[in-house]
A and B are shown apart, each in its own frame.
Chain A
Amino acid sequence: MEIISWQFALFALVVVGVYYALPHRAQNYWLLIASYIFYLTWGWNFALVLLCLTTFNFLWARLLTPDRTRRRLWLWIGIAANVILLSFYKLNETGYMARFGLSTKFLLPIGLAFYTLQAISYLVDVYNKVLPPTAHWADFFLYLSYFPKLLAGPIERARNFLPALAKPRVVTNEKLAKAMALILIGLVRKIVIADVLSQIIILEKAWVGWGANYSTPVLILWLLSFAFSLYNDFAGYTGIVRGVSLLFGIELSANFQQPYLSRNFAEFWNRWHISFSYWLRDYIYFPSSRWLARLTGSQRNALSVVVPPLITMAASGAWHSFNIYTLIWGGLHGLYQIVERVWSLYFPVTPPDQQPRWRQAWGVISVFALTTFAWASFAMGTLRNGGSAFAFWRALSISAHWTAFGWEYLLVFAPISFSIILDMIQNHYRDEVIFLRWNTFARALLFAAACLLVFIVGVGGAPRVFVYQGF
């Protein structure tokens, strides 16, 4: 059941309707049942994998309480079990397993990459005594299976999510309005920006024979379109599921904060796929930095500066897909962060907010340009028909290709501009639903315009599958 479908809308309405009629504890059981029904619509074997993984982690966490011996060993076994399961499916997807005579008939369960990280974070947090292992099996099962975040996150932490489940929830007019606004903005981002961009430039098709058939300006526009389409696709998804979750009175984390307005790479990773970035930071970057600092005795030596960002971003690349190009993408971002870190070690760095406007603008442009450059490799590694990233970058520089160009391609600037304006408004007011503060008529007019826009663009064809559902 796709998130943007009549079936999901009906499903969510029924679940919400029954949910409101139930007492607090029963609501959790009801959400758990609904979540598994939702997952079963994607495949019974997916639900089985989720059930096994959840049961394992629920029981395993009991071995990590302070009163247990060999806690460290149990933790590593627990982490390894989760990583091996995820790696098996990821490797299987690439076809590597077939080379060793292993089966290729196991499809990667949708959302596995997301709920595996949540399970690992739970084990580590229990080990670190951040939270005790939960006594409520239903709450833990719901933590991993909660249907609004099941397919592609946000990657919630047990330390935030489980307490929220333990408390009674309240849905007020304000929450309902915010939920509607998040859903509508999400739909606009997905249907009006991301899907339109991918249709103008035909994201998948462009790969086949692009070197010979597409001029350099078209390749540049293609890359720009990919950058904005990917962002709005994922941000749109997150907005919709956060809105749906808010209907239950459960707040999910924000995953994006206008990342293309970032002025340095540290800021970018605090604004792009935030729940995943923070997971990487807390469970890979910080531990590896601390370990290296202990090993070398300093946080300023070459190893401590170079290794943690590289390991972290390589893990990020591998998490997306076991593919050389996603690793290169991760490596590039690791490199950007290393350069930024080295720079900060030798030159005093002013916080972006205190920099003059021109330097902030230069930072935004530089970060965006380098990020977009790296997206080419990410795209090659994650899209079907992906070609060679190196060949793509080479084709970008062939001056002979600067001639052939259809003006129709400039259409991409309409959704791109829309995305930038929306981001600038949200960024300026530091509020993703700033529109709710407008007066009644302005709000109604905007709501109606957004509905009409989604209708006009959406009725022409089924929306494309969310990109991050494929990871």
Chain B
Amino acid sequence: MQTLQLKRPSVSAILSLILSLLILGSLSEMALRAGHATQIFPAPNMGVANPELGIKVARLDALAKAKGKIDCIFIGSSAVDSDIDTQELSRLYQTRTGEEIVCFNFGIAAMPTTAAPVVGKFLIARYHPKILIFGADPSVFSSDFPGGVYDVPWVRYHAGDVTLEGWLIENFYLYRYSVASSDWRNVERIELTSRLERNITPFGFNTYKGNEFEDVTTGWGMAHHQLHPPYFASYRELLSLRSTVTQIVIFELPTQMNFRVKNDPADEKTYAEQFLQPIISDAESRGALFWRTGQLVFSTLPANHFADWLHLNYRGTKVFSGWLGEQLAEAVQQGKLKVR
């Protein structure tokens, strides 16, 4: 006896199923595109564990739409994220040059240097900034940097590397929200996302630090962080993004004075020779500007301007952002950078 004894299914049943799938799928897609989805669910994460990427993309999209241009974008990890108030920077720049500049802080907590080239490529392709500015500190070049993964299909898709998943995330909101669906049912993630939504300004500055201060006098020292070869290779890849449209600037992120001087003095020398020297020399050989902050730390950024050894608090952010604005203005005035 034959096991399979099926009769032909009715055409109407098959048609009903196909029709139902189409109707429900289209209705869901329309509901998500209507824009109400973000009021109910946190921003989709584009496939990245850190919700900050999705929020920053949404902020940057809105800024680009409102201003019609993006002049400069800062990228880097948490120190960039919380150390640079791009509005304060623009204010100082305008005071010095009399011209408006639109800058956005695309620093993302725990973004490793390996992600910088692909994120940089994505930002250039999507927003065409005149200047891409990367904040370098020893920790993000260190092999023990606990970085998240940002080299994901959606970012790659926008960086010019077309993948099916990247295309689906970009073009189908239903898929985009499905990818992120594990996030909007994770209470801790929801809390983190709403905190980030509150803290990140329209210009990308993450204001979470407040004026907390930690006097860091112990620790592993600056020389603890060695240039990890794969990270250094990614840094070189980032420098190669320089083109006739986009210029690349690298700056040294400030680190707390107490942390630096109270550790072994030889440590400072090692830091200068084994960390700074190679990254400066590579930047300059590839036509990128490099801004050092060494003296700034010892003159205008005292220890109480830091939240910890690497991250500035509000006081420090104000000073440092102003300083960056002046550096930018000076470079433009001297013809080293072009914003028009």
The A interface is mostly helix, strand or loop, or mixed, namely helix
**Do A444 and B191 touch (CB < 8 A)?**
no
Interface residue? B97 (CB, 8 A): no
- A441 and B16 contact, Cβ closer than 8 Å, known pairs A173-B9, A460-B181, A461-B182: yes
Q: Which of A168, A201, A411, A444 contacts B17 (CB 8 A)?
A: A444
Question: Cβ of B295 < 8 Å from any Cβ of A?
Answer: no
**A19 CB–B CB distance under 8 Å:** yes
- The reply to whether B187 and A249 contact each other, CB–CB distance below 8 Å, is no
Minimal Cβ-Cβ distance residue in A for B190:
A408
Partner of B20, one of A19, A249, A445: A445
Q: Judge whether B3 and A173 touch: CB under 8 Å.
A: no
Looking at chain B's contact residues, is the secondary structure mostly helix, strand, loop, or mixed? Answer: helix
Partner of B3, one of A169, A411, A445, A455: A169
Interface residues of A in 394-442 (CB under 8 A from B): 406, 408-409, 411, 440-441
Query: With an 8 A cutoff between CB atoms, is B186 at the interface?
Result: yes
Q: Given the complex of chains A and B, what is the CA–CA distance between A138 and B143 in angstroms?
A: 56
Nearest-neighbour CB distance to chain B for A367, whole angstroms, equals 29
Set of chain B residues within 8 Å of A19, measured between Cβ atoms: 3
Does A130 count as interface, using CB distance less than 8 angstroms? Answer: no
Contact with A along B184-208 (1 / 0, CB 8 A): 0111101100000000000000000
Cβ of B177 < 8 Å from any Cβ of A? Answer: yes
The answer to whether B186 and A449 touch across the interface, beta carbons within 8 angstroms, is: no
Contact of A456 with B4 in the complex, beta carbons under 8 Å? no
**What size tier do the contact residues of chain A reach?**
35 or more
Interface residues of B in 102-161 (CB under 8 A from A): none
**Cβ contact within 8 Å between A455 and B185:** no
Given that A249-B3, A444-B19 are known contacts, is A408 also in contact with B191, CB under 8 Å in the complex?
yes
In the complex, what residues of A have CB within 8 A of residue B182's CB?
Answer: 199, 460-461
Question: What residue in chain A is nearest B12 (Cβ atoms)?
Answer: A440
A199–B191 contact, CB under 8 A?
Answer: no
A440-B191 Cα distance, complex, nearest whole Å: 43
Interface string of B6-33 (1 = CB under 8 A from A): 1101101100110111011100100000
Complex: A408 Cα to B190 Cα, angstroms: 8
Bound-state Cα–Cα, A21 to B231, Å: 57
Alpha-carbon separation in the docked complex, A444 to B10 (Å): 12
Known contacts A199-B186, A440-B12, A459 near B181 by CB under 8 Å: yes
Are A452 and B25 in contact (CB-based, < 8 A)?
A: yes
Selected from A172, A200, A445, A451, the residue in CB contact (under 8 A) with B186 is A200
Tell me, yes or no, whether B57 is within 8 Å of chain A by CB. Answer: no
- B1 and A168 contact, CB distance less than 8 A: yes
Give the residue name and chain of the B residue nearest to A448 (CB): B20
- Number of residue pairs spanning A and B whose beta carbons lie under 8 angstroms apart: 93
Please tell me if the beta carbons of B187 and A411 are within 8 angstroms of each other in the complex. yes
Known: A172-B5, A459-B181. A447 touches B191 (CB 8 A): no
Distance of B185 from chain A, by nearest CB (Å): 5
Is A91 positioned at the interface, with any CB of B under 8 Å from its CB? no
Given contacts A200-B185, A411-B185, A455-B178, contact A173 B7 (CB under 8 A): yes
B5 — which chain A residues lie within 8 A by C-beta?
A: 170-172
Counting chain A CB atoms within 10 Å of each CB, the highest count among B10, B12, B181 belongs to B181
B83 contacts chain A at the CB level, 8 A cutoff:
no
Q: Is B251 an interface residue (CB 8 A)?
A: no
- Roughly how many angstroms separate A24 CA and B1 CA in the complex, as a whole number? 8
Question: Is B174 an interface residue, CB under 8 A from the partner?
Answer: yes
Cα A170 to Cα B178 with chains together (Å)? 38
The answer on a CB contact under 8 Å between B6 and A448 is no
Most A Cβ at <10 Å: residue of B7, B186, B190: B186
A176 within 8 A of B: yes
Q: Is A284 an interface residue (CB 8 A)?
A: no
Q: How far is the CB of A314 from chain B (nearest CB, A)?
A: 36
**CB closest residue in chain B, given A20:** B4
Contact check, A447 vs B17: say whether CB atoms are below 8 A apart: yes
A408 touches B187 (CB 8 A): yes
Expressed in whole angstroms, the minimum distance between the Cβ of B307 and any Cβ of chain A is 24
A452 close to B187 (CB less than 8 A)? no
Report Cα–Cα, A103/B187, bound state, in Å.
41
Nearest to A249 among chain B residues (CB) is: B3
Once bound together, how far apart are the Cα atoms of A196 and B9, in whole Å? 34
**Is there a chain A Cβ closer than 8 Å to B81's Cβ?**
no
- Chain A residues closer than 8 Å to B187, beta-carbon distance: 200-202, 406, 408-409, 411
B175 at the interface (CB under 8 A from A): yes
Task: Assess whether B183 is interfacial by the CB under 8 Å rule.
Answer: yes
A447 x B20 contact (CB < 8 A): yes
Once the chains are docked, how many angstroms separate the CA of A246 from the CA of B188?
41
Q: Which residues of A contact B10 (CB under 8 A)?
A: 440
Assess A448 versus B24: contact at CB under 8 Å? Given A173-B7, A406-B187. Answer: yes
C-alpha gap A200/B190 in the complex (Å)? 10
The CA of A400 and the CA of B193, in the complex, are separated in Å by 28
* Interchain nearest-CB distance for B188 vs A (Å): 7
A171 to B4, CA, bound (A): 5
Contact A202 B17 (CB under 8 A): no
Q: A200-B185, A448-B17 are in contact. Are A459 and B178 (CB under 8 A)?
A: yes
Q: In the complex, what distance in Å separates the CA atom of A237 from the CA atom of B340?
A: 62
Nearest CB of chain A from residue B11's CB, rounded to whole Å? 10
Q: A457 in the interface, Cβ–Cβ < 8 Å?
A: yes
- Does any Cβ of B come within 8 Å of A27's Cβ? yes
Shortest C-beta distance, A329 to chain B (Å), equals 26
Q: Given the complex of chains A and B, what is the CA–CA distance between A459 and B16 in angstroms? A: 25
| Cβ contacts under 8 Å, A168 to chain B | 1, 3
Residue of A nearest to B17 (CB): A444
Q: In the complex the two chains form, is A171's CB within 8 Å of B3's CB?
A: yes
Report which of B6, B7, B12, B186 forms a contact with A202, defined as CB distance below 8 A: B186
Closest chain B CB from A284 CB (angstroms): 38
Select A172's contact among B6, B20, B25, B178, beta carbons within 8 Å.
Answer: B6
What are the 10 tightest A-B residue pairs by CB atom distance, in nearest-first order?
A444-B16, A448-B20, A460-B181, A460-B182, A461-B182, A459-B178, A444-B17, A448-B21, A445-B20, A456-B178
What are 25 sample pairs from A and B whose C-beta atoms fall under 8 A apart? A24-B1, A24-B3, A168-B3, A170-B5, A172-B5, A173-B9, A176-B6, A199-B185, A200-B185, A200-B187, A202-B186, A202-B187, A202-B188, A440-B16, A441-B16, A443-B16, A444-B19, A445-B20, A447-B17, A449-B20, A449-B24, A451-B21, A452-B24, A460-B179, A460-B181
Contacts A406-B191, A457-B178, A461-B181 given; 17 further ones with Cβ under 8 A?
A24-B3, A168-B3, A170-B1, A173-B7, A196-B185, A411-B185, A440-B10, A440-B12, A445-B16, A449-B20, A452-B28, A455-B178, A456-B174, A460-B179, A460-B181, A460-B182, A460-B183
